[in-house]
């Protein structure tokens, strides 16, 4: 059997070797590799975050999941790095940053393989491995037509968040689609349309509907506040703005969104692990099936070989007597000997077919096409 090439040694564009390693078809292999990049690209940052917060149990679970996936993909060095990190964490070693760095380095071949499958994507993987850092500043989009209010909100937010500014609804919706902000501060009264119309547009956009929106308005109108909350806003603040209250409300909504995003990310990762587990089960079943077929093939080949010799010997003896070479035979003996010879010939043909039957069961039977003339078969 040809030796398998570890995933770590693959050229990023050598997909044929990747298929050999995963023992599957291109579609499933592609799903596994692309899924790895999607769900494990930020695992280094995730592990460092869990270490910083003292959550060694969760960090160990992440390392164990990564080791399992690495085993399925044939990434030997990555599997060893993940298992080593899990062992360190099980011993209570909080200083595992060097092991995480080695783990990220071992991820590069798989990340390269994923990049080679994505049309138009850069071959570089440094950003992909680092992923989104849990400490990165969240983005807050400010949609307000008053320059002084935009400047004030920007000054309040700049230390803790990354503010984006829009002076009208069209610009605001465009930035919401392009930048995917973590939260939107939306004025009710805009020069082109109302903030309620903007919110409706956001909720109709699949990519933007989950962004929390806080209305900021100079109108202290209960009806407007009720309408905004009914349309899906998470909060409603009136001007003049109290910076402390504003930051408290933003912090609260950002914290909720972080928790929701983390829960969603973990759920997606678990679904990917279920896919890997299903592939492992399928691969194991196929391996067992091939083993059973090989055992059957070997057995039938052995039986065919062992039976062929004695039957050929019997057939030779029968034909020797039938041809009168062992003495004179009468017509009745010729009839019985002829019947025996035909049965031996039929039995020998069946024995010759045993290996072919085994190859058919294992999918190794080859069919050769040839032209025949029907007229010749009638003669």
In tens, the pLDDT along 352-379 reads: 777 776 666 555 555 566 676 666 555 5
Distance in angstroms (rounded) separating the CA atoms of residues 83 and 101: 14
Q: From the CB of residue 181, how many other CB atoms can be counted at a distance below 10 Å?
A: 22
Output the pLDDT for position 124. 40
Residues 21 and 61 in one domain: yes
Output the pLDDT for position 349. 83
Last residue of a domain, one of 97, 119, 134: 134
Output the pLDDT for position 6. 60
For residues 164 and 186, the answer to whether their CB atoms sit within 8 Å is no
Residue 258 forms part of a structural domain: no
Residues 55 and 170 in one domain: no
Residues 147 and 122 in one domain: no
Residues 94 and 148 in one domain: no
Residues 227 and 128 in one domain: no
Residue 306 forms part of a structural domain: yes
Residues 187 and 228 in one domain: yes
Question: Is residue 184 very low, low, confident or very high in pLDDT (cuts 50, 70, 90)?
Answer: very high
What are the structure tokens assigned to 224, written together? Answer: 């407007």
Residues 99 and 20 in one domain: yes
Residues 115 and 151 in one domain: no
pLDDT in tens, 143-160: 999 999 999 999 999 999
Residue 345 forms part of a structural domain: yes
For residues 133 and 43, the answer to whether their CB atoms sit within 8 Å is no
Q: Name the domain count of the chain.
A: 3
Last residue of a domain, one of 134, 169, 189: 134
Residue 260 forms part of a structural domain: no
pLDDT in tens, 305-343: 788 888 888 888 888 888 888 788 888 888 888 888 888
Coil, strand, or helix at residue 4? coil
Residues 312 and 212 in one domain: no
Residues 17 and 90 in one domain: yes
For residues 67 and 47, the answer to whether their CB atoms sit within 8 Å is no
CATH number of the domain to which 203 belongs:
3.40.50.2300
Output the pLDDT for position 69. 86
- Answer whether 0.75 is exceeded by the pTM: no
- Rg (alpha carbons) of the chain, rounded to whole number: 36
- Residue 166 region, left (φ>0) first, then alpha (ψ -120 to 50), else beta? beta
Residues 147 and 222 in one domain: yes
Output the pLDDT for position 260. 86
Domain that holds residue 148: 139-241
- Region 288-307 average pLDDT: 80
């Amino acid at each position: 059997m040809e030796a398998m090439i570890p995933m770590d040694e693959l050229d990023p564009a050598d997909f044929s070797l990747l298929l050999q390693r995963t023992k599957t078809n291109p579609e499933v292999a592609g799903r596994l590799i692309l899924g790895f990049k999607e769900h494990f690209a930020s695992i280094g940052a995730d592990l460092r975050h869990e270490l910083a917060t003292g959550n060694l149990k969760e960090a160990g679970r992440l390392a164990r999941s990564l080791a399992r996936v690495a085993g399925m993909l044939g990434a030997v060095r990555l599997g060893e790095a993940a298992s080593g990190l899990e062992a360190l964490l099980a011993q209570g070693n909080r200083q595992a940053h060097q092991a995480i760095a080695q783990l990220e380095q071992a991820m590069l071949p798989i990340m390269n393989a994923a990049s080679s499958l994505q049309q138009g994507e850069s071959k570089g993987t440094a950003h992909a491995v680092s992923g989104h850092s849990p400490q990165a500043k969240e983005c807050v989009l400010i949609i307000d037509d008053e320059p002084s209010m935009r400047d004030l909100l920007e000054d309040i937010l700049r230390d803790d968040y990354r503010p984006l500014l829009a002076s009208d609804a069209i610009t605001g919706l465009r930035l919401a689609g392009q930048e995917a902000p973590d939260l939107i501060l939306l004025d009710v009264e805009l020069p082109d349309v109302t903030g309620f119309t903007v919110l409706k547009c956001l909720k109709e956009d699949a990519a933007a509907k989950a962004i929390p929106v806080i209305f900021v308005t100079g109108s202290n109108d209960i009806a407007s506040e009720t309408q905004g909350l009914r349309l899906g806003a998470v909060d409603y603040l009136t001007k003049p703005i109290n910076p402390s209250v504003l930051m408290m409300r933003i912090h609260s909504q950002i914290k909720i969104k972080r928790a929701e995003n983390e829960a969603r990310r973990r759920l997606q990762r678990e679904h990917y692990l279920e896919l890997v587990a299903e592939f492992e089960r399928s691969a194991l079943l196929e391996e067992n099936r091939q083993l059973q077929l090989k055992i059957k093939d070997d057995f039938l080949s052995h039986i065919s070989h062992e039976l062929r010799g004695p039957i050929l010997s019997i057939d030779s003896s029968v034909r020797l007597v039938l041809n009168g070479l062992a003495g004179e035979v009468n017509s009745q003996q010729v009839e019985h000997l002829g019947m025996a010879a035909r049965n031996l010939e039929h039995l020998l043909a069946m024995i010759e077919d045993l290996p072919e039957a085994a190859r058919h069961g294992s999918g190794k039977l080859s069919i050769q096409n040839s032209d025949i003339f029907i007229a010749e078969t009638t003669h």
